[in-house]
Structure 1
Amino acid sequence: MSGRGKKQAVAGTSGSTSKRSRSARAGLQFPVGRVFRLLRKGKYADRIGSGAAIYLAAVLEYLTAEILELAGNAARENKKTRILPRHIQLAVRNDDELNKVLAGVTIPQGGQGEESRHSAIPVNFHLVQIHGASEVV
């Protein structure tokens, strides 16, 4: 039978044993198997413990959930139902800890951060009124 229905119990095994992914066993949404494969493929070390992939997948899932939560709030504040790269940029740059972790990261289509917008104006830029006309000093 080639369908996706219930599997028939094989003699000698109980019907309740089913294959569960490492992600499901760890209670994660992020793929532990893929993280483990990428850790091995990246040659970061000769040997990779199985707990390392679970831990890294959990950290990645937590950081992603945190950024999505803050970006969703930023989108809601702008009366949007879709999270845009600009909302992710605002979320990361307005959170002190995330800003520190992602300090060297450029978010494409994220727009300028608050710091760079203020630093674009020179410090010695002053307007002086001279006989009704503006003049730059």
Structure 2
Amino acid sequence: MAGKGKTAARTLEDLTLDSGYGGAADSFRSSSVSLCCSDSHLSYAHGGNYWHLTESMHSRHNSLDTVNTVLAEDTEVLECCGPCAKLPELEDVPWSLGEVECALRKEQELCAGKLSREVLDKLSALVSRALVRVAREAQRLSLRYAKCTKQEIQSAIRMVLSWTVSVNCITAALGALSLYNMSTGDKFSRGKSARCGLVFSVGKFFKWMVDSRVALRVHEHAAIYLTACVESLFREVLCRVQRSAHVEKDSGVPKFTLESFELAINNDSEVWGLLQPYQHLICGKNANGKIRLKMGHGVFLWCHA
């Protein structure tokens, strides 16, 4: 009897992550992690977001995570979504600092060096902004069919992240989904995160996507993709910081301080704009205004702003 209870507890995540789960339109609760730019704006039952103002799925007017082309006469939209407006700050993120530390330890290169609590807090706050950007773009892409699948998450990743970072995140997501699909034999004994080889909880990310109203229905593969992407993004950011000249090394072991961490981020043009608090995405530019764009196949374009 005890064994049955244990199995039921382990498979709770599987039951709540049924394909296409998301509930009816009126089942959405108000959420403090809403991706809307303003609480005063109209809330729509099947998404609660302001992209419906464009009345077109192909419109880029309000996709501030890519290119902002809001017309000057759209004053109401500009007040809410102007390029200087701030991203919503997440009160609750779908990970813990302990999970972040464990996820970083998975990378051999990151095993050396001790991260202080303040560095972990800072890293968590910065990556939460990238999560909001990806989720908002996925929300926009999910409007037509009122469903968020792995395709919407993958497209959002490609749009929001730089070419190099997006390739690494999508590779991690594909690997996690492949492990999940190959582990059908033990689906009643292990949760989704373990079957995907992930430290972060797929169940927490799924719940966050539903509470944030990314779409009316959220497919389980979308949650796996987003979980793997964010976990990979944590490692990507810290790898770049660790390789930075601003991080001092003692006998080859990096010494992370909050100041050196922020300096390294400020000088990396592929992640600095992504981690800024503004709704409008600053692409390929670092804190000093230098632009470094990767065109693909190892070709770089350098110029000054």
- With the length of structure 1 as denominator, give the TM-score of the two structures: 0.55
Residue 217 of structure 2 aligns with which residue? Answer: 47
Per-residue CA deviation, residues 78-134 of structure 1 (Å, 9 max, x unaligned), is: 2365533223312322222102312336xxxxxxx9639xxxxxxxxxxxxxxxxxx
Q: 1:97 to 1:51 in 2, by over 3 A?
A: same
Q: 1:21 to 1:83 in 2, by over 3 A?
A: farther
Residue 25 of structure 1 aligns with which residue? Answer: 195
Residue 19 of structure 1: CA displacement?
A: 1.8
Distance 1:40 1:28 in 2: 20
Q: 1:94 to 1:76 in 2, by over 3 A?
A: closer
Distance 1:72 1:47 in 2: 39
Unaligned runs of 5+ in 1: 8-15, 106-112, 117-137
Q: 1:35 to 1:75 in 2, by over 3 A?
A: farther
- Counterpart of 1:53, as a letter, is A
What SS does structure 2 have at the residue aligned with 1:79? strand
Distance 1:73 1:93 in 2: 14
Q: 1:83 to 1:21 in 2, by over 3 A?
A: farther
Unaligned runs of 5+ in 2: 8-184, 279-285, 290-305
In the alignment, which of 263, 273, 288 is matched to residue 100 of structure 1? 273
What SS does structure 2 have at the residue aligned with 1:30? coil
Between stretches 92-101 and 50-59, larger displacement belongs to: 92-101
Identity %: 31
Greater C-alpha radius of gyration: 1
Distance 2:212 2:287 in 1: 36
Between stretches 65-74 and 25-34, larger displacement belongs to: 65-74
Q: Which has the higher contact order (CA 8 A, sep 6+)?
A: 2
Q: 1:43 to 1:78 in 2, by over 3 A?
A: same
Question: Would you say the 8 A contact 2:246–2:260 is kept in 1?
Answer: no
Residue 233 of structure 2 aligns with which residue? Answer: 63
- Counterpart of 1:41, as a letter, is D
- With the length of structure 2 as denominator, give the TM-score of the two structures: 0.27
- Counterpart of 2:271, as a letter, is L
Question: Would you say the 8 A contact 2:247–2:256 is kept in 1?
Answer: no
